[in-house]
Amino acid sequence: MECQHLKKLCLALLVQTAALAAAAPAMAVTYNLRADRTTITLPGPDGVPVTVPVWGFADDGNTPGSGTVTVPGPKLSVTAGDTLTINLVNRLPVPVSLVIPGQRIVPNANPPGAANYDASVPAANISQNPNFPVPVQPIAPTQRVRSFTTEAAPNGGSAVYNFGVAKTGTFLYESGTNPALQIPMGLHGALVVGPGASGAAYTPTATNSATSYDRDQVLLFGEILARYDFTLNRFFTMNEDVDRNSCVTAATDTGSCSQWKTPLPYPLTITTDNSIKSTLDYQPLYYLINGKSYPDTVAAQPISTAPGAPTVPGIYAPYGTAGRTLLRMINAGGQSRVPTIQGSYRDNSSTDPALALPRAIYPQPIAEDGNLYPYPKQEFAPILPAGKTMDVMLNLTGAGHPGYYTLYDRTLGVTNAGHFPGGMLSFLASWDPNTRNCSPFKGDLNGDGIITISDAVLALRKVVGNQYDANGDVSPVVNGLPCGSSTGPTTGTKTALDITDSLFILQKAVGTAPQPY
Amino acid sequence: MSAATKIVGIALAGVLLAWLPAAVSLAMIDGLTGSSSTPVFNLAAGEGRVITGDGNNLPVWGFADLDNPNNPIQGKVQYPGPTLIVNEGDTVTINLTNNLSEPVSLVFPGLDVASSTAPVFARGSKALLSSIAPEAAPGGSQRYVFTASRPGTFYYQSGSNQAVQLRMGLFGAIVVRPTQTTSKSYPVADLNLQDPAAPPSVPTPLANKTFSKFAYNEAGVPATVPVGATTISNLAASTGYDREFLFLLSEMDPNFQTWMDLGRDRSRHPANFGDWIVNNSSQKQDFTTWKANYWFINGRSAPDDMGTSFDPNLPNQPYAGMVAFHPGEMALTRFLNLGRDFHPLHTHGNHQRIVAEDGLLMTSAGNALDQTQTSAVGADLSTEEFTLTMSAGNTFDSLFWWTGKGLGWDGYGHKPGDPLAPYEYIGDHVVASAAPMVPEPVYGKYPTNQYVPPAPNAAADTTLAQALPILFSPDQLVFTFGQWFSGSPYLGSNEPLPPADVSLNLGGVSYYFMWHSHAEREIVNFNTFPGGMLSMAGVIPWSVALPAE
C-alpha cells in the first residue's frame, strides 16, 4: 500500500477508508499516459540498424508531455488492492482509446456522448455483395463503430479510464480503436497488478500453491509488420506506410510529419505503388520481445534497481534459494507464439558441475489471462496466442551451478528481416554476478564486442605482467560457460590472468575453442 | 509415388489389389532401439529428397543412421530423422556428424542433457550466435549425452539456423519407455463389453481391462477411485496400451524448398532465410510470405503415409504413418508437431484421451517431474477430445479405443443366435428373444431396444436380418466409394465390390476412420484434395491377425 513509483499519483483514500473501517487502506493509482509518435531502432540484417516509425504510449507523470514514448508502452504497476485510473492524452492524428482485457471498467467513468464511432460518409456507396441473390440497393452508412470504448480525440484530446480495484495478475493494455492497425503500430503495453501478500503473484491454492517468486520479468511479444515492394525491391513496414500516409494527406505538410491533419483511416493505406492495402497484406518482418529483437534482447541489464548494480547479458534468472523467476508473458502481436526455454541445468548434488546431475528446464505455466490454474502445468512448448497473457514460473531453486539458457519462439520468429539469429530470441542468465561473473561474451578485453587476436594479445600481456582483468577471467569454464574465478581479485582466488585464460581467448579468437561436452 | 511408379501402379492394379493389404505394415513404432542401458546412436546430418503424395520431389535436410545394420536404410538421410527408442534410466549418447555446409547442433527439450547446453557464440560475439547448443561444424562432429530420467515422448531438433534448418527437416522423435512392466488391471464391467476369454455364445461382461504395456509408470495408481459415495474405475488415469503408434507432423512450403534447391547462392553459408526473395517475371515471392502447401505425417504426405514402412520407392521417408488395432485394443499414439505451424489433429471413430503433454503426465501430482508422485496419481487430469491442439514443438500421448459401444445398433451385423465378438458391446448385440419381436411402432425398435432391420422381403422373411438403422441399398454403387470400403457396413463382413474397384481394406472386412489435421486446408497435396496430413485408423476384426507387438 505504499507509493513506490514517482511517476504515479498516489492518493490515499484515507477518508473513505477510515469511514469504511474495513481492510488496509486502498491506494488510488493514477497513470497519465500520452499516445504519441516516435521511432524505434532495430538491428537490421547485416548489422545495419533500421529505424521504424511507431505509435506508442508515454508515462507523463505530473508533467504533460514529459514522458518518453516507447514500444511497448511503459509497464504499469499496481499494488494488489489498489484502484487504477488512467488518464489518456492523445497527440496522435487519429482517435485513440484504451482497453485492458481482464480488468473490469467502472461504468460511466467517462462523460456521456463521447464519440466512439466514425461519422464520416464514405466517398462511394458500399457496393452490394454480387453473390447475394436478391437485388438490394447499395447502402451508404454514415456511422461505423471504430472504438471499443471512449476515445481521446485526435491532436490533443483526452479521456479517463477508471478500472476500480484492479484484479491481480498480468495483463495487456492496448488501444481499443482500430485495433487491427493501432496495436501493431505500437499502442500496447503491460500491466502488472500485484504481488499480493507475501510476494505471491496470485493467491495460492492447495493444488497450485507455488505462486510466490523471487524475481519477475515481463516478456511482451510483438511484431513489426511489412510488405515487400517488388517495384522498389525493398520492404516497407506497415508503420512506414501508415506514417507516410498521414503526411501526404496533411494540408500543411512540412515533410517532417509533425503536422498531421487528416490521416486516412484504416483499412485504407496508400502505398508507394498506389495499391490499396490492408493489414492482411503485411507479415511480420521483425519479431520483438519488450520492443527489442535479438541481439538487443541481451544487452547488459542490471540485476537490480540499486545504483551501479552489476549487469547480466539477458534476462536475470538466478539459481539457488532465490531461484524462482516469474516470466509474465504477454502476446501483443497478431500471431500465436510458442515461447520455448531450452536447456538443462546442473543440480546442487555436487559442488563440481561436471558431477552434478543434469535436469531439463520445464517452464511451469501457473496462470493464464490473470487467472490462476487449478493445477500448474509443465510444458516446454506452451502456446501464447494473440492477446494472451501467461505467467510462467521458472524454478531454478534446485540448480547448483551457473547456466545460460535459450528462450526463443518455436514458430521460428527468430530472425531479423529473415536473418538468423534475431527476433524473439533471448537468454536467461543464471548466475549472481556479485559472486561469480560468468558470461559467454567474456574474453573481450578491449570491449569491441568481438574476441580477436588483439584480445588474446592483451590477455597474454596481463598474464606476463601478473595483472588481473575481469573481462579476461574466463577460466574455469563451467559447463560451457566462461565464469572465471569465483570471487575475483579482491578476495584473492585469482589475482592475475593465467595462461589458461589467455589460451582460451586465443582459441576463441581463431575459432578453435573446444566446444564443451 | 513418383510418376514412374504411378504408371507401374496402373499397369499392375490387379497385382496391387492382392499385394497391398498383406504388405501394409500397420507398423508399431519404427526406429532405432538401444541395445543396452547406455545406447550410442551415430547420426549424420545431410541432404536428401522427399517425394510427396502427388509426385513432387523436394530437397530436405535430415539425419541418417550410420551404424545400425538392421536399419534397411542405414546411412541414408531420413525425413524425419531416425526415431530413437530408449528405456527410462538409460544414458544415451548421440554422436552427430555434420555433412552439411553449415553448423548443425542438437537440442533435446524436456530431456536431462548431461553434455553442455551452452550456446555457441562465434568469437564471443552476440551477433555471431551460430547455435543455441554445442554444434558440429561442417565436416565435423559433436557428441551429446542425455539421461532418459523420465518416460515420455520427446524429440531432438536442430539448434542452429533454425529458421532454415527446422523448415528443412532436421528433427526426429525420441521415445522413452517406462520401467514398469508388471501388468495392471482396471475394472470395466460397467462398460458391458464381451469378455474375449469367455465363450462367445454366452454374454459375459469383461470384468477388467488388463495392460502389460504403459506409456508412463503407474504401479501405484489405484484401480478405482471414490467419487462421492461411490467408487468408479480409474481407467481414465491409466496410460496402459495394447498397440503403439507415432505421428510426427511437419509441413513445407514447396517454393522455399525449391529455392533452397535451385535458387539460393550455394556459396553462402549458413543458408540465409532472408535471402529468399524472388522477383522476376514469372515469380514474386519473399520470405515473409512462407506458406506451407505440403503436410506430412512421419515425413510422408497422404496417401504415401498409408503405405509400407521402408518402401524402396520412398528412400528418404522410411516411416509409414497408419494406425490399426482390433476392437477393444487400446492404441497409444505419440503425437509430435515439429513443423512451425499449429496442427489440430482430429480423430474419427471415437474421442482420444490425452494423457500427457510435452513428455509429462496430465496429473494433479504436485510436481509431475517427480515420478514417484505421478505413479501415485496417474493421468488424472487427462482430457478427452477429438481435435488435439498442437503447437510447434508440442508432444502429446493419446489413447484411443474402439468397441462400437453406443452405436445403438449391432456394428457386426449379427443375426439372432450369432456369437458375440470379442469386446463387443453386449447391449447392442442382436439377441434372439423368446417373446415375439414386435417392433415398437413409433421409433421402430424391438423390445431389445435394437433397430428393426430392413426387410427386402418383409412379408415372407420373419427372421431378423441385419440391424442397421437405415435402409441399406442393394445397389452397392450407391454406397461404395473409396478404397477402404469392404462392400458391407458391418465389421467383419464383406460384399461384392463394383468391378475393377481397388480395395485397400485389410482382410476386406475392416472399418477405417480418417485421422487428419482438422485444418482442412492441410489435407491436400499442393492444393489438391486428398493428401497431406491425412491417414486412416483401421479397426481390424479379431478374425484378421495383426502383427504381434
Assign 3-class secondary structure to A400-432: CCCEEEEEEECCCCCCECCECCCECEEEEEECC
Looking up cell 512392466 gives B181
Burial of A251 (0-12, 13-18, 19+ CB in 10 A): exposed
Residue (of A324, A339, A360) closest to A425 by Cα position: A339
For helices B13-23 and B3-11, give the axis angle rounded to 10 degrees: 100
**Residue B431 DSSP one-character state:** -
CA–CA gap between residue B374 and residue A54 (Å, rounded)? 49
Which of A381, A427, A480 lies nearest to residue B391, judging by beta carbons?
Answer: A381
> For residues A197-216, b (16+ Cβ closer than 10 Å) or e, as one string?
eeebbbebeeebebbbbbbb
> What are the CA-CA distances from residue A393 to residues A237, A293, B179, B246 (Å)?
35, 23, 30, 31
Instruction: Provide the 3-class DSSP secondary structure of residue A280.
Output: helix
Per-residue pLDDT band at A225 (split at 50, 70, 90):
very high
Residue B210's pLDDT is: 97
Instruction: Provide the 3-class DSSP secondary structure of residue B503.
Output: coil
Q: How many residues make up chain A in this entry? A: 517
CA–CA gap between residue B495 and residue B516 (Å, rounded)? 28
**Phi-psi map region of A138: left, alpha, beta (phi>0 left; psi -120 to 50 alpha):** beta
CA–CA gap between residue A374 and residue A377 (Å, rounded)? 10
CA–CA gap between residue A161 and residue A183 (Å, rounded)? 18
Q: How do residues A265-288 score in pLDDT, each as one tens digit?
A: 434 444 444 455 677 889 999 999
Contact A5, A58 (CB under 8 A): no
Query: Across the interface, do A298 and B112 touch by the CB < 8 Å criterion?
Result: no
**Grid cell listed for A108:** 460511466
Which of B114, B277, B288 lies nearest to residue A283, judging by beta carbons?
Answer: B288
CA–CA gap between residue B113 and residue B105 (Å, rounded)? 13
Residue (of A119, A176, A126) closest to A152 by Cα position: A176
Pairwise pLDDT comparison (B407 vs A20), residue with the higher score: B407
**Residue B452 DSSP one-character state:** P
Query: Across the interface, do A450 and B124 touch by the CB < 8 Å criterion?
Result: yes
Contacts of B342 in chain A (CB under 8 A): 336, 383
Contact B252, B58 (CB under 8 A): yes
Query: What φ, ψ does residue A47 adopt, rounded to 5°?
Result: 75, 0
Range of lowest pLDDT (A140-149, A335-344, B95-104, B295-304): A140-149
Residue (of B34, B78, B35, B324) closest to B176 by Cα position: B34
CA atoms within 13 A on the CB side of A356: 22
Which of A45, A480, A508 lies nearest to residue B134, judging by beta carbons?
Answer: A480
Q: How many residues make up chain B in this entry? A: 549
Percentage of chain A lying above the pLDDT 70 cut: 79
**Closest approach of A458 to chain B, Cα-based (Å):** 15
Show the CA angle centred on residue B65, arms to residues B62 and B67, nearest 5°: 160
Residue A278's pLDDT is: 72
Contact B169, B251 (CB under 8 A): no
Q: Which of residues 253-292 of B touch A (CB under 8 A)?
A: 270, 272-277, 279, 284, 286-289
CA–CA gap between residue B24 and residue B7 (Å, rounded)? 20
Contacts of B142 in chain A (CB under 8 A): 515, 517
Show the CA angle centred on residue B188, arms to residues B185 and B191, nearest 5°: 160
Query: What φ, ψ does residue B9 adopt, rounded to 5°?
Result: -60, -40
Residue (of A97, A99, A84, A98) closest to A167 by Cα position: A84
Interface check for B23 against chain A (CB to CB < 8 A): the answer is no
Residue B223's pLDDT is: 95
**Closest approach of A344 to chain B, Cα-based (Å):** 6
Residue B500's pLDDT is: 73
Q: How do residues A431-450 score in pLDDT, each as one tens digit?
A: 998 888 899 999 999 999 99
For helices A499-510 and A453-464, give the axis angle rounded to 10 degrees: 170
**Closest approach of B360 to chain A, Cα-based (Å):** 7
Q: Is the dihedral of CA A253, A257, A259, A264 positive or negative?
A: positive
Contact A437, A300 (CB under 8 A): no
Pairing of strands A425-430, A403-409: antiparallel
Per-residue pLDDT band at A15 (split at 50, 70, 90):
very low
Residue A473's pLDDT is: 92
**Grid cell listed for B473:** 441399398
Residue B296's pLDDT is: 98
Query: For residues A280, A283, A289 and A292, what is the CA-based torsion angle, rounded to 10 degrees?
Result: -120
Range of lowest pLDDT (A92-106, A137-151, B146-160): A137-151
Sequence-ordered list of residues with C-beta below 8 angstroms from that of B303, at least 6 positions apart, any chain: B53, B530, B531
Contact A384, A308 (CB under 8 A): no
Instruction: Provide the 3-class DSSP secondary structure of residue A133.
Output: coil
CA–CA gap between residue A343 and residue A359 (Å, rounded)? 9
Which of A209, A295, A406 lies nearest to residue B126, judging by beta carbons?
Answer: A295
CA–CA gap between residue B211 and residue B226 (Å, rounded)? 22
H-run or E-run covering A38? strand A27-43
pLDDT at A196 over 90: no
Query: What φ, ψ does residue A463 adopt, rounded to 5°?
Result: -65, -50
Contact B37, B93 (CB under 8 A): no
CA–CA gap between residue A219 and residue A329 (Å, rounded)? 5
**Residue B167 DSSP one-character state:** H
Which of B132, B284, B357 lies nearest to residue A379, judging by beta carbons?
Answer: B357
Query: Across the interface, do A360 and B112 touch by the CB < 8 Å criterion?
Result: yes
> For residues B194-229, b (16+ Cβ closer than 10 Å) or e, as one string?
bbbeeeeeebbebeebebebbbbbbeebeeeeeeee
Residue (of B134, B75, B70) closest to B108 by Cα position: B134
Residue B547's pLDDT is: 87
Looking up cell 504388405 gives B23
Residue A437's pLDDT is: 86
Query: Across the interface, do A411 and B129 touch by the CB < 8 Å criterion?
Result: no
pLDDT at A211 over 50: yes
Q: How do residues A246-265 score in pLDDT, each as one tens digit?
A: 544 444 334 444 333 334 44
Residues A298-317: what's their mean pLDDT?
94
Query: Across the interface, do A358 and B147 touch by the CB < 8 Å criterion?
Result: yes
> What are the CA-CA distances from residue A129 to residues A132, A136, A280, A483 (Å)?
5, 9, 20, 67
Pairing of strands B243-252, B331-337: parallel
Residue A171's pLDDT is: 98
Contacts of A233 in chain B (CB under 8 A): 279
Query: Across the interface, do A381 and B276 touch by the CB < 8 Å criterion?
Result: no
Q: What is the mean pLDDT of chain A?
A: 84
Contact A82, A26 (CB under 8 A): yes
Residue ranges of chain B with per-residue pLDDT less than 50: 1-25, 454-466
Pairing of strands A324-331, A215-229: parallel
Query: Across the interface, do A342 and B358 touch by the CB < 8 Å criterion?
Result: no
Residue A418's pLDDT is: 95
Q: How do residues B322-346 score in pLDDT, each as one tens digit?
A: 999 999 999 999 999 999 999 999 9
Residue B486's pLDDT is: 82
SS (H, E, C) B224-289: EEEECCEEEECHHHCCEECEEEEEEEEEECHHHHHHHHHHCCCCCCCCCHHHCEEECCCCEEEHHH
Contact B343, A365 (CB under 8 A): no
Query: Across the interface, do B369 and A362 touch by the CB < 8 Å criterion?
Result: yes
Which of A342, A481, A517 lies nearest to residue B132, judging by beta carbons?
Answer: A342
Pairing of strands A389-395, A324-331: antiparallel
Interface check for B139 against chain A (CB to CB < 8 A): the answer is no
Q: Which residue does chain B place closest to A416, by CA atoms?
A: B274
